[in-house]
């Protein structure tokens, strides 16, 4: 067997474009020094990456860095879908970051460079064919986020969030690497396709159960699955809103893709299935129950994101029971998890885009009460937010969320786990409470508070003077909410349009995930 690895540069084109975008952003920032030019270069590179991924993926499966039948890079239709979604999310977050970058303390060049580096990790992650490439790609996706989370200078919450995210992520990576090392010690292989056969031939090796558990649990940190979720709410709430949007979508998608890769191609289903089923039940139940008590908007969305991770993991929890039911049942479980992940990140991006549009430039997500009646002042942004919340809840007209949950339940029932389908259905009902409550808050009558002589709210417990002006909570008297920056408006419009398109044609995403 030849040990010379072949290199297919066409297969590597999406990774070249993503990494080249990061380099060009630094050069543009150094040579031009204008924020608009730097962001334009970043946006152009992101679009080129997405287009390149679609073109290469449409040509069929391409492999490179191969030794015999084992390849470290496999770019197929699913890898193209993952790369395209990462490019879309990065472009959306760039648009949402417009107010944050315009004249603020955030360094534009470094910000765009870190986003491009993170996108590069996501593109590589979808095509990773061995454990080392997969873990390195996942860390390339995650490492820039440590810095991005702490970019709210002078904010103690932002600094705490960055440190929490860093420490937890390093521990998760260490656990995953230890599991990979034990797998290599037990089997002598690291390629995902080869590991499956090696583990099947050596089921009695004592190291194997421990190695599998460590890899799955390490990746569960990245997905924010319960009980490895505690970092997510504080990190999301402390990060700038556009970064929180990226964490809730791209970072979670990366963890899901990595977990899918090792579960589908490498690790034994009879070991991973029960573990993932337990994680799914805990994640969706704890996420939904805690979300019911949240009073801050980003924390509510963060706990909602935890619960949604449980729905994504649910189809993978039936892998052990699909043995003997045919390959179609197992392929349906994988496709349901991928499709739900894509549905979720698109609708979640629309929700965060609407929140950025409804909040003052540079502000955090604020409290849920701050959004009371906001849809009356900004009807289009409020309607987009309500549509995204309805989609996450799984109700029409947001058919994407409904179709995604039906797809998950169908995959679970096909796998013979009726009890898990019942848990999914019950948690979907629980989720309705906080999603609809937040949507109703957007259209509720604003609470009026009396204003003092200098335009300040009157002291608590004191009646307003006769003829005294009043103002909604969160809005100073006589102040009209400012206009939404055009990059945010464009990002919100595109994200909402995609959510609507997917809502009316959800089968397209499921078909792509099945390839």
Inter-helix orientation angle 506-514/327-358, to 10°: 130
pLDDT bucket at 463, cuts 50 / 70 / 90 = very low
In the predicted model, is pLDDT for residue 449 greater than 60? Answer: no
pLDDT digits (tens, 9 = 90+) for 268-312: 777 788 888 899 999 999 999 999 999 999 999 999 999 999 999
Q: Which of 133, 131, 10, 74 minimizes the C-alpha distance to 515?
A: 74
pLDDT bucket at 83, cuts 50 / 70 / 90 = very high
In the predicted model, is pLDDT for residue 481 greater than 70? Answer: no
Q: Report pTM.
A: 0.86
Give the per-residue pLDDT at 202.
Answer: 61
Report helix, strand or coil for 65. strand
Q: What are phi and psi of 461, to 5 degrees?
A: 85, -5
The answer to whether residues 294 and 441 touch, using CB atoms and an 8 Å cutoff, is: no
Q: What integer is the mean pLDDT of 226-234?
A: 84
Give the per-residue pLDDT at 361.
Answer: 73
pLDDT bucket at 515, cuts 50 / 70 / 90 = low
Return d(Cα 259, Cα 272) in angstroms, integer.
10
Q: What integer is the mean pLDDT of 90-97?
A: 91
* Residue with token string 């993978």: 316
Beta strands (DSSP E) in 352-452 are 448-450
> How many residues are listed for the chain in this entry?
515
Residue % of the chain over a pLDDT of 70: 84
pLDDT digits (tens, 9 = 90+) for 46-68: 999 999 999 998 888 888 888 77
Residue % of the chain over a pLDDT of 90: 27
pLDDT bucket at 33, cuts 50 / 70 / 90 = confident
pLDDT digits (tens, 9 = 90+) for 106-131: 888 889 999 999 999 999 998 998 89
Give the per-residue pLDDT at 63.
Answer: 87
- Which has more pLDDT, 298 or 204? 298
Q: What residues contact 154, with CB distance under 8 A and at least 6 apart? A: none
Give the per-residue pLDDT at 150.
Answer: 81
Q: Which of 398, 380, 407 minimizes the C-alpha distance to 436?
A: 398
DSSP string for residues in 425-494: HHHHHHHHHHHHHHHHHHHSPPPEEEB-TTSSBPPTTPPPPTT--EEETTS-TTPPPPPPPHHHHHHHHH
Return d(Cα 353, Cα 97) in angstroms, integer.
10
Return d(Cα 164, Cα 316) in angstroms, integer.
29
Give the per-residue pLDDT at 476.
Answer: 36
My answer on whether omega of the bond before 79 falls inside 30° of 0, hence cis, is no
């Amino acid at each position: 067997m030849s040990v010379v690895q072949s290199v297919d540069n066409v297969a590597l084109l999406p990774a070249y474009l993503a990494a080249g975008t990061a380099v060009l952003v630094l050069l543009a920032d150094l040579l031009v020094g204008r924020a608009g030019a730097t962001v334009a270069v970043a946006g152009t590179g992101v679009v080129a990456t997405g287009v390149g991924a679609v073109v290469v993926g449409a040509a069929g499966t391409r492999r490179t860095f191969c030794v015999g039948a084992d390849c470290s890079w496999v770019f197929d239709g699913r890898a193209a879908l993952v790369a395209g979604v990462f490019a879309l999310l990065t472009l959306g977050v760039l648009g949402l970051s417009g107010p944050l970058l315009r004249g603020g303390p955030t360094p534009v060049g470094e910000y765009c460079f870190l986003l491009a580096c993170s996108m590069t990790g996501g593109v590589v992650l979808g095509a990773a064919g061995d454990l080392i490439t997969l873990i390195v790609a996942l860390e390339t996706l995650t490492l820039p986020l440590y810095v991005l989370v702490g970019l709210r200078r002078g904010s103690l919450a932002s600094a705490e969030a960055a440190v929490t995210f860093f420490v937890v992520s390093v521990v998760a990576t260490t656990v995953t690497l230890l599991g990979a090392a034990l797998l290599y010690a037990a089997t002598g292989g690291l390629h995902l396709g080869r590991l499956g056969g090696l583990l099947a031939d050596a089921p009695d090796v004592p190291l194997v159960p421990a190695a599998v558990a460590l890899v799955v649990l390490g990746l569960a940190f990245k997905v924010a699955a319960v009980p490895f979720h505690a970092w997510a709410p504080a990190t999301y709430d402390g990060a700038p809103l556009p970064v929180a949007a990226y964490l809730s979508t791209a970072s979670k998608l990366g963890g899901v893709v990595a977990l899918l890769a090792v579960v589908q191609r490498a690790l034994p289903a009879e070991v991973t299935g029960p573990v993932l089923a337990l994680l799914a039940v805990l994640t969706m139940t704890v996420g939904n129950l805690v979300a019911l008590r949240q009073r801050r908007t980003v924390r509510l969305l963060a706990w909602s994101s935890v619960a949604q991770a449980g729905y994504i993991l649910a189809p993978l929890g039936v892998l052990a029971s699909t043995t003997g039911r045919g390959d179609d049942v197992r392929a349906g479980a994988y496709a349901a998890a991928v499709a739900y992940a894509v549905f979720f990140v698109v609708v979640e991006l629309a929700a965060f885009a609407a929140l950025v549009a409804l909040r003052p430039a540079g502000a955090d997500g604020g409290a849920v009460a701050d959004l009371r009646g906001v849809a009356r002042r900004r009807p289009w942004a409020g309607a987009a937010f309500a549509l995204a919340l309805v989609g996450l809840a799984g109700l029409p007209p947001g058919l994407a969320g409904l179709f995604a949950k039906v797809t998950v339940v169908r995959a679970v029932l096909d796998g013979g786990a009726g009890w898990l389908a019942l848990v999914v259905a019950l948690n979907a009902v629980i989720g309705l409470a906080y999603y609809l409550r937040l949507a109703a808050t957007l259209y509720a009558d604003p609470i009026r508070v009396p204003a003092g002589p200098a335009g300040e709210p009157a002291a608590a417990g004191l009646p307003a003077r006769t003829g005294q002006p009043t103002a909604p909570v969160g809005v100073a008297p006589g102040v009209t909410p400012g206009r939404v920056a055009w990059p945010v408006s464009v990002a919100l419009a595109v994200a909402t349009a995609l959510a609507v398109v997917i809502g009316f044609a959800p089968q397209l995403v499921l078909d792509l995930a099945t390839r």
